[in-house]
């Protein structure tokens, strides 16, 4: 039997990149996956079609997460799709934004948007998911290698993701009594559309020089770790920041 057979997992930001890879991997493991997308309905429909063509089950929901109202609207759609009640076995809070800017270049509007989406949105998404999450469930927050090795040009993004490192531990301590594990999955630089420089020969060579495993990371490398954290195999792992970076900047 597939490891996630009979489970239902919500993946925010599941229409492209890391999110899409996670949706497809979880579905292959037997989960019914609900994915959110912000604006690209065609991309989301493509993910659902790919999952269904492989024999899996997926549903796409349009949603943002910059405000509490956005989160409430998201979960109204989740309830309508799944029937309400304790309908989830896992949440992967993957949706987020990135900004390439040093401290001198970040203005108040950009800072607020970064924290609205990457911190406030994640916080209230988890809060709203909790009454819908069955005991023994899984919560996975997406972090970044940039909270271990530091790059000034990602200062606001790093600060926002750093807040989630602490949130991971707090939630793990609170939710452990329900058998719910909470972990952070922290990728390094991955070949997705968020990192177009990794599609150039120069970028590939530079990335190989940064990683112990001497190659560029791919979305599937992260999706496989997410599948482990979403499964019963990770039942004794909680409150952890698990970096999947190929040994970047060791």
Catalytic residue IDs: 157
Spatial neighbors of 174 by CB under 8 A, at least 6 apart, are none
First to last CA, the chain: 38
């Amino acid at each position: 039997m597939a490891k996630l057979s009979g489970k239902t997992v919500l993946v925010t930001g599941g229409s492209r990149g890391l999110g899409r890879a996670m949706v497809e991997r979880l579905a292959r493991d037997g989960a019914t996956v609900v994915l959110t997308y912000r604006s690209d309905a065609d991309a989301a429909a493509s993910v659902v079609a790919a999952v269904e063509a492989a024999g899996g089950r997926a549903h796409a929901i349009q949603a943002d997460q910059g405000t509490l109202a956005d989160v409430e609207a998201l979960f109204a759609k989740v309830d309508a799709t799944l029937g309400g009640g304790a309908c989830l076995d896992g949440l992967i809070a993957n949706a987020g934004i990135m900004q390439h800017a040093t401290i001198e270049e970040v203005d108040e509007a950009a800072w607020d948007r970064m924290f609205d989406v990457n911190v406030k949105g994640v916080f209230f998404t988890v809060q709203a998911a909790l009454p819908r999450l069955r005991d023994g469930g899984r919560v996975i927050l997406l972090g970044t290698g940039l909270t271990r090795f530091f790059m000034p040009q990602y200062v606001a993004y790093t600060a926002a993701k750093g807040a989630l490192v602490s949130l991971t531990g707090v939630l793990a301590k609170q939710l452990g009594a329900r058998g719910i594990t909470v972990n952070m999955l922290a990728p390094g630089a991955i070949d997705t559309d968020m990192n177009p420089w990794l599609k150039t020969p120069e970028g590939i060579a530079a990335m190989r020089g940064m990683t112990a495993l001497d190659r560029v990371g791919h979305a599937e490398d992260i999706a496989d770790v997410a599948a482990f954290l979403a499964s019963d195999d990770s039942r004794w792992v909680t409150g952890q920041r698990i970096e999947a970076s190929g040994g970047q900047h060791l």
